[in-house]
Structure 1
Amino acid sequence: MTRIAMSMGLATSLMVGSVAAEAAESWRMATPWSGGPWLERDAKTFADYVNQLTGGDIEIEVFPGGTLGGALRVTNTVKSGVAEVSHNYINYDYGTDPTAALLAGHSSGLTPEEFMLWMYEGGGAKLYEEFRLEVFDVVAFPCSTLGTEIFLHSNKKVETLEDFQGLRLRTSGAWAEIASSLGASTVVMAGGEIYSALERGVIDAAEWGSPEMNRPTGFQEVAQYVILPGVHQSGGFLECQVNQKAWDGLSKEQQELLRLAGKLSVFDSWLASSFADLDAYQELIDGPNEMVQLDQSFIDAIYEETEKWENKYAAENEWFARVLTSQRSFEETMSRWPEYRLPIGSANN
């Protein structure tokens, strides 16, 4: 909290000391989100912080997915200048560079709390911004936290690696590759198609998000089993991107204020989503679904296959290797954490 207070103090001093803006900037924000917390809460939280911290010099109007361009092509929308800013998921650009998966969150990766520490104390945010600028020609930085996901909503009970063989699984990105290597039959489809596909038996199972994000989808209504834990996506981040020309038109003070707005939004999203997940998960426990825990041998197999996947891309992609090396070094540092810190949620249990 001291860090947050200091950051707010810095923001105030920057605003007082900055040159008065010539005129208020009116920016449009592109998103992939049709609704839900990522649009209504997280994207708008960032827009509100930017407005407050810049003293109204930058006003951002948030648009739902598909309004300003393709919902999954938000990076192009910002790069072209159709929108000055976005709230986005870097993993949608996985096909261009798999390094995106490391920055978005991937199987057996960092938890939300570890991700925040790595981003802001372990050099992750600096790597993030450098990668986006060099490879995609946009300025980008973290601005929302992703919670640990539910491993599967499934009509087939999955506990072991053997149960996973031939599973018709809706997924995407890095996990699609890793899950296929583990024996699943993966299918990539838009989020709006998943409910119907589960209901009609087109797929056996699907992964999507954390308990809070999955609650309004209704997956629990058409899939009997809730499979845990979400080792395929233990935590992650959403980003805010800024068009390079729009960014260059800002003062250095304003640029720092936008980064600060992202950091404050990350903290807010972590608080809100973590608490909302508790309530949503309790609803699943109290409901008619069967809660299933993965066998440890299957989890170990996922870790092993993920490491193979990481090593493969690190050998052929310089950016992937840089980010992976940083994360692995951080994980080694964090290995001491359990020696003196109690697990979250363990008090009085």
Structure 2
Amino acid sequence: MYKKSKIALAIGLSVGLATTAGAAETNWRMATPWSGGPWLERDAQMFADHVNDLSGGEIEIEIFPGGTLGSALKVTNSVKSGVADISHNYINYDYGTDPTTALLAGHSSGLTPEEFMMWMYQGGGVELYEEYRRDMFDVVAFPCAILGTEIFLHSNKRVETLEDFQGLRLRTSGAWSELASRLGASTVVMSGGDIYSALERGVIDAAEWGSPEMNRPTGFQEVAQYVIVPGVHQSGGFLECQVNEEVWTGLSEDEQDNLRLAGKLSVFESWLASSYDDLDAYEELVSGENEIVHLDQDFIDTIYEETAKWEDEYAEDNEWFARVLESQRDFKETMSAWPEYRLPIGTMGR
């Protein structure tokens, strides 16, 4: 279980106590899509602990696993309706309502977790995020965990080139379901709990789910021979925390800022924890019985080209999509100078 941050405790003592002095103790119900694992047991709990610290113990958050406060894939509805006061969620589960969610969740855009954090907190992303959620979904939301680069596929078929990808029976979701279909795969949407048996029985050829750390407890590596990297379909992204609008407006401005701060602290600390744990989980795959396969660069380039076309198509008719896309593309242009003076991570002294 995640240990409370000393940094957050210090901030809570100096800021949170002052802003919540005299307030009555509040208990909030947190809806999540997660049945278990690091997103529930570490990241959601991390945020709840930070909120408790920053409020001086006045706000206690009870975390509920997926399906106990409404549908696991409709957490936004649970928060909007007031069934839950707050959530720990993946914005891309609302992709069917509006595709802009894919840009904010992370898609095959090429933004790494580190780039995503810079865009979010220095490039105007977090302001767009909150404005978008309030305008389109009537909930207040902000990032509260980072997503690492995913495994491209756990697969029973070797996939290296675009030709290998043709006709692949692939479990996926969201924007990548559309893009993978455009690239020739036969996509299937199913819940995470069904993936193992579907791979084992040959119902699907391959599946994408999460980063090495997230995939390790699923056992996909036990029923699929090939591990395909890198995860260009989801090179980075965010999880969010949502607050019911009525609950939010009942808070003072300082209390609202403390919730945003709890999210930012959780993003940073989840990045440290998940990045480090991914190293260990990936090494297990390398040293295990699976075969690691690296995607052909021509295939990667084709994915990015198709993604740009897909982005342009949605931007033509969707004002919000166009706003977020323009911001991210401007940021990428700024980042183009990065390799000229920054050394690649993980390569020095090897």
TM interval, shorter chain, is: over 0.9
- Deviation (angstroms), 1:110: 0.8
Structure 1: runs of 5 or more not aligned:
none
| One-letter code aligned to 2:278 | D
- Following TM superposition, where does structure 1 have runs of at least 4 consecutive aligned residues deviating by more than 2 angstroms? 4-22
The within-5 A match list for 1:1-349 is 12-15=13-16, 17-18=18-19, 20-349=21-350
Does the 8 A contact of 1:211 with 1:280 survive in 2? yes
| Post-superposition offset of 1:7 | 8.8
Aligned counterparts of 2:18 and 2:40: Cα–Cα separation in 1? 33
Counterpart Cα distance in 1 of 2:297 and 2:110: 16
Percent identity of paired positions between Structure 1 and Structure 2: 76
Count of residue correspondences: 346
> In the aligned structure 1, how far is the partner of 2:278 from the partner of 2:260?
27
CA–CA separation in structure 1 for the residues paired with 2:77 and 2:181: 29
CA distance in structure 2 between the partners assigned to 1:237 and 1:202 by the alignment: 30
Q: Secondary structure at the match of 1:212?
A: helix
| Cα separation, 1, equivalents of 2:139 and 2:262 | 17
Per-residue deviation, residues 24-82 of structure 1 (Å, max 9, x unmatched): 11001000000000000000000000000110111101111011111001000000001
1:108 touches 1:302 (CA, 8 Å); kept in 2?
no
2:46 maps to amino acid: T
User: Following TM superposition, by how much is the alpha carbon of 1:17 offset from its aligned partner in structure 2, in angstroms?
Assistant: 4.0
Distance 1:321 1:335 in 2: 21
Question: In structure 1, the residue corresponding to 2:36 is in which secondary structure?
Answer: coil
- The CA deviation at 1:150 is 0.3
Deviation string, structure 1 residues 219-274 (Cα, Å, up to 9, x no partner): 01111100010000000000000000000111111000000000000011000000
List per-residue Cα deviations over 1:129-173 (Å, max 9, x = no partner). Answer: 000000000000000000000000001101110011000000000
Deviation at 1:178, TM superposition (A): 0.4
* Residue segments in structure 2 that go unaligned for 5+ positions in a row: none
Comparing 15-24 with 207-216, greater Cα deviation is found at: 15-24
Cα distance in structure 2, aligned partners of 1:119 and 1:67: 31
For residue 298 of structure 1, what is the amino acid of its counterpart?
F
Letter in 1 for 2:314: Y
1:287/1:7 Cα in 2 relative to 1: closer, same or farther (>3 Å)? closer
Deviations 1:174-225, CA, capped at 9 Å, x for gaps: 0000000000000001111111111111100000000000001110111110
State whether residues 27 and 59 of structure 1, in contact with CA within 8 Å, keep that contact through their aligned partners in structure 2.
Answer: yes
**SS of aligned partner of 1:283:** helix
Which amino acid is 1:274 matched to? S
> Aligned equivalents of 1:118 and 1:100: distance in 2?
16
Aligned partners of 2:153 and 2:17: how far apart in 1? 50
Structure 1 85/275 Cα, relative in aligned 2: closer, same or farther at 3 Å? same
Check 1:22–1:155 CA distance in 2 against 1; reply closer, same or farther (3 A cut).
Answer: same
CA distance 1:250–1:48, shift in 2 (3 Å): same
Deviation at 1:348, TM superposition (A): 0.5
**Structure-2 separation of matches of 1:81 and 1:119:** 28
SS in 1 for 2:97: coil
Task: Answer with 279-288 or 102-111: which moved more.
Answer: 102-111
**Letter paired with 2:196:** Y
Letter in structure 2 aligned against 1:203: I
Q: Which amino acid counterpart does residue 302 of structure 2 have in structure 1?
A: A
TM-score (norm: length of structure 2): 0.96
**In structure 2, the residue corresponding to 1:232 is in which secondary structure?**
helix
Deviation at 1:20, TM superposition (A): 2.3
- Say which SS state the counterpart of residue 169 (structure 1) adopts: strand
Q: Report deviation, 1:346.
A: 1.4
Q: Could you report, residue by residue, the CA deviation over 1:291-313 in whole angstroms, capped at 9, with x for unpaired residues?
A: 00011110011010000000000
Report the secondary structure of 1:28's partner residue: strand
**TM-score, normalised by the number of residues in structure 1:** 0.96
Corresponding letter in the other structure for 1:44: Q
Distance in structure 1 (CA, Å) of the matches to 2:330 and 2:9 = 30
Does the aligned pair in 2 maintain the 1:150–1:207 contact within 8 Å?
yes
Aligned 8 A contact 2:17 2:56 in 1: no
Letter in 2 for 1:104: A
Q: Is the 8 A contact 1:178 1:309 kept in 2?
A: yes
SS in 2 for 1:196: helix
Q: Distance in 2 between matches of 1:334 and 1:169?
A: 33
Counterpart residue identity of residue 133, structure 1? R
State how far apart, in whole Å, the 2-side matches of 1:297 and 1:339 are.
24
| Offset, 1:347 | 1.6
Aligned alpha-carbon RMSD (Å): 1.5
